[in-house]
Amino acid sequence: MARRKIIAGNWKMNKTPSEAVALVNELKPLVATEDADVVFCVPAIDIIPAMEAAKGSNICIGAENMYYEESGAYTGEIAPAMLTDVGVKYVIIGHSERREYFAETDETVNKKVLKAFEHGITPIICCGESLTQREQGITIDWIRQQIKIAFLNVTADQAKTAVIAYEPIWAIGTGKVATTEQAQEVCHAIRVCIGEIFDQATAEAIRIQYGGSVSASNAAELFAQADIDGGLVGGASLKADFGKIVNYK
């Protein structure tokens, strides 16, 4: 069975609540499609107004992060139940910027992934290598390790519903997109790894995105690859171009 494409925007730390409403209203008609799931992952404070603005459209509003405890003395964090209470269905986990600037590790990623599943939120689990790692020829080993730890104690039924975003760090925000061959090679290796951890059915069901300088001009070629089921889009998700990416065909 063909996997349904999932194209997600990651707004990162951009857009105030009022700007978020304006952007959702601008993009709403442009991202209309029946062929893919369309998700806007927005800053926590934008979630509610963005959802209001997205009502009646095909846009699903997601979060960019979440904590792995239920509640308590964790100043500044967002609990999973706070997200589900307002209807959030997707959360980005372990983006490389969170790993780099906010000390997230494969272990905290795993805790967050487990917690997201516990609350019925679909995690968009990020992995990716640095330029040094790519040059050293250890990309696949590194990604396999990230995936194996992220999926510790996850069940096959949960994993089937997960989304993995392969985002080479050197391609994020640099305008330097991975070649389709590079992107397909790693996304395929991720699927093989999922097959090893779980089984073939899980490997075939899980959706794997590519992220890193996805644009209106490269989306079609990337998304046509056998193991690439859509994209996680940063910069271009904040512009009308996102409509072209979503309707890439």
List, by residue number, the catalytic residues. Answer: 95, 167
CA distance 143 to 61: 27
The mark string for 83-112 relative to ligand 13P (x by CB under 6 A, - otherwise) is ------------x-----------------
Task: Tell me the closest approach of the beta carbon of residue 232 to ligand 13P, in angstroms.
Answer: 4
Looking at the Cβ atoms of 198 and 242, the one nearer to ligand 13P is 242
The mark string for 9-48 relative to ligand 13P (x by CB under 6 A, - otherwise) is -x--------------------------------------
The mark string for 188-227 relative to ligand 13P (x by CB under 6 A, - otherwise) is -----------------------xxxx-------------
The mark string for 111-150 relative to ligand 13P (x by CB under 6 A, - otherwise) is ----------------------------------------
| Of 20, 234, 239, 243, the one binding ligand 13P by CB under 6 A | 234
DSSP track, the chain: -PPPEEEEEE--S---HHHHHHHHHHHTTTT--SSEEEEEEE-GGGHHHHHHHHTTSSEEEEES---SSSSSS-TT---HHHHHHTT--EEEE--HHHHHHS---HHHHHHHHHHHHHTTPEEEEEE---HHHHHTT-HHHHHHHHHHHHTTT--HHHHHH-EEEE--GGGTTSS-PPPHHHHHHHHHHHHHHHHHHS-HHHHHHSEEEEESS--TTTHHHHHTSTT--EEEESGGGGSTHHHHHHT--
Task: Tell me the closest approach of the beta carbon of residue 214 to ligand 13P, in angstroms.
Answer: 5
* Interface positions, 158-187, toward ligand 13P (CB under 6 A): 167, 172-173
Task: Tell me the closest approach of the beta carbon of residue 90 to ligand 13P, in angstroms.
Answer: 13
Task: Tell me the closest approach of the beta carbon of residue 64 to ligand 13P, in angstroms.
Answer: 9
CA distance 193 to 198: 9
Residue 209, beta-bridge partner list: 165
Assess 6 for contact with ligand 13P (CB under 6 A). no
Looking at the Cβ atoms of 198 and 248, the one nearer to ligand 13P is 248
Length in residues, the chain: 249
Report yes or no: 145 and 189 within 8 Å, Cβ to Cβ. no
| Of 147, 235, 242, 247, the one binding ligand 13P by CB under 6 A | 235
Report yes or no: 208 and 190 within 8 Å, Cβ to Cβ. yes
| Of 232, 241, 243, 248, the one binding ligand 13P by CB under 6 A | 232
Q: Which residues here bind ligand 13P, judged by CB under 6 A?
A: 10, 95, 167, 172-173, 211-214, 232-236
